[in-house]
A = this chain, B = another copy of it.
């Protein structure tokens, strides 16, 4: 669990109300190493209790791995507005847990994550999983939620795109933020 000297530890988060994936990697120059991954699950029930579980779960992950930066996947708008609202609430609670702990939070769209990890913004989840396993030399397959979170952390390690100064709509991106 010790952080190598000159390495940066990155926590990736793929938020969801039922399942939130997380993935921790260390970056030392171009070298990425897997540290940990998993999920925070909340049981069906009242929303405030689920938010409490999610918030506390992320707090425990921060306590255990002490990352230097956090990358959170931007969620897409669901066709079902109620699902969008639930997902938004989970994401808000997850980001609150990170910022409340003094973490710097960077946001990446699924397109940016796929571009950075697979080199194709329209790659499917299996391709992302395959590349996550290859880039981090994983001996076994992580869950899809954990894989997406690890991919988000890799995206941050690669400077948001993995392709250097990619420009989108005339704006230069750095670290996932529109400048």
A-side interface residues toward B, CB under 8 Å? 46-49, 51-52, 54-56, 72, 75, 77-78, 81-82, 84-100, 105, 107, 177
Contact = CB atoms under 8 A, between A and B. Distances in A.
Given A47-B95, A96-B55, A107-B48, A77 B88 contact: no
Given A77-B81, A81-B77, A85-B84, A52 B99 contact: yes
A82 B93 contact: no
A18 to B, nearest CB: 14
Contacts of A177: 46
A52 B100 contact: yes
Nearest to A91: B89
Given A100-B52, A107-B48, A89 B95 contact: yes
A8 B86 CA distance: 30
A72 B48 CA distance: 10
Given A56-B100, A85-B88, A89-B89, 10 more contacts: A46-B107, A48-B105, A52-B99, A55-B100, A77-B84, A81-B81, A85-B85, A85-B87, A88-B88, A92-B94
A77 B117 CA distance: 34
18 contacts: A48-B72, A48-B95, A48-B98, A52-B99, A56-B100, A75-B85, A78-B81, A85-B85, A85-B88, A85-B91, A86-B88, A88-B88, A89-B91, A89-B95, A90-B92, A92-B92, A93-B93, A93-B95
A51 B84 contact: no
Contact of A93 (B72, B86, B92): B92
